[in-house]
Amino acid sequence: MKRVLLYGESAKNGTGIARYVQTIAKGIQQSEPCFDYQVAVRNFHSIPNLDRIRVAYRTNRLKGKLQHFVRKLTTGDELLFGRSDVVHEPNYNLCKVSRGTKVILTVHDVGWRIDATPYGLTEQFISEAEQAIKRSSIIITPSQSVKNDLVRLFGINEDHIHVIYHGVDAFFFQRDTPIAHRAMPERYWLFVGTALSRKNLERVIGAIAMMHLKLPLILTGERTPYGDHLARQAKAVGVEVMFFNRASDAELRLLYRRSTGLIYPSLWEGFGLPLIEAAAAGTIVITSDNTAMKEIAADYALLVNPTNVKEIAMAMQYVLEMDQQDRQTRIVKGKEIVKSYTWERSIQSHIRLYEML
């Protein structure tokens, strides 16, 4: 029987990659595929519910030094968790296996190839990422935008690249249920994700500062040193920034629904899960007119030039002044469009690729 290994990467809970890996791993195992499917987990300590997945290998602190030594060998990972016919790397993981092993790589975006500065990446990471792309048998991308970038920047044969869109959990469509949650202001703008420079939040704060009505900005995700920098910038211009770290799905859905709108004008994205989660929850979306954001959200979101602070402010002002009919039309349209983004479809597409190799 064919053996397929999902080689898990380090990822913090609340990130899009973490949600992707957990959902794919659980979904494929629950579908009872016609191949032996296992998950190898490296430093994947912060993803919830992982213990419910049949794990072939998990990093252990007590064995960390030995595992680190073994991984330096040419086929070190294979020695740790056995030989596989197909290895799926859901990020740039460089699983060390035999030459004949087929490798599927998911490339979430290649913004780092255009400008690595906002990512804060090392030369070693960039080198390993390029190596991972070149050695893969098949590449999965979450959007046509990323596929186009791979063809343009790396000269990859487009027949080797398969676009598999992410899904939105049905939970975000469902009605709210009473939950204990942190205090929320009556009106606020919402950003979902980790505060990184490529998320363009400095310009968002600048846009709010230009407005007569300066609503607070709620940021979810892990608080970072860059987040602290944003808080200082916001305070200097009279804008309130609130951090909601580690929001549960129930709290996140509530944050979406009570917000004035999701503000997501990143410099680039490979997909942007918050775009479809917000639409499913019935939230107005403002996002960038470039990369995958335009591809995913053009039919229901307000699109802006992410480098133009005035244009971001104008879109936010438009949302504040939007009449109820316009708001409801956009919300209904958004919900209908994102129904086509399902994790079930994504999981089945992954299974077909595993079976094809």
Same fold, 3-167+342-356 and 170-338: yes
Helix (H, G, I), strand (E, B) or coil at 88: strand
In this predicted structure, the answer to whether residue 144 has a pLDDT above a threshold of 60 is yes
Residue 329, pLDDT > 70, answer: yes
pLDDT band for 118, please (50, 70, 90 cuts). low
- Is CATH 3.30.56.10 what the domain over 3-167+342-356 is classified as, yes or no? no
Residue 311 has pLDDT above 70, yes or no: yes
Judging by beta carbons within 10 Å of its beta carbon (0-12, 13-18, 19+), is residue 99 exposed, middle or buried? exposed
Q: Is the dihedral of CA 118, 120, 121, 122 positive or negative?
A: positive
Query: Strand, coil or helix: what is 241?
Result: strand
Q: What CATH homologous superfamily does 170-338 map to?
A: Glycogen Phosphorylase B; (3.40.50.2000)
Burial of 146 (C-beta count, 10 Å sphere; 0-12/13-18/19+): buried
How much is the average pLDDT of 271-291?
97
| Alpha carbon distance 93, 175 (integer Å) | 38
Output the average pLDDT for the chain. Answer: 86
How far CA 31 is from CA of 90, 339, 344, in Å, comes to 19, 21, 10
Q: Where is pLDDT greater, at 14 or 353? A: 353
Which of 65-74, 110-119, 185-194 is most confident? 185-194
Does the pLDDT at position 126 exceed 80?
Answer: yes
Return the amino acid letter for 160. H
Better-predicted residue by pLDDT, 26 or 350: 350
pLDDT reported for residue 46? 43
The pLDDT confidence band at residue 80, using thresholds 50, 70 and 90, is: low
Burial class (CB in 10 A: 0-12, 13-18, 19+), 327: middle
Q: Report yes or no on whether pTM surpasses 0.85.
A: yes
Is 90 exceeded by the pLDDT of residue 179?
A: no
Distance (Å) of CA 294 to CA 19, 264, 268, 311, 321: 22, 11, 10, 16, 23
pLDDT in tens, 37-64: 887 765 544 445 554 444 544 444 445 5
How confident is the model at residue 97, as a pLDDT?
75
| Domain ranges for the chain | 3-167+342-356, 170-338
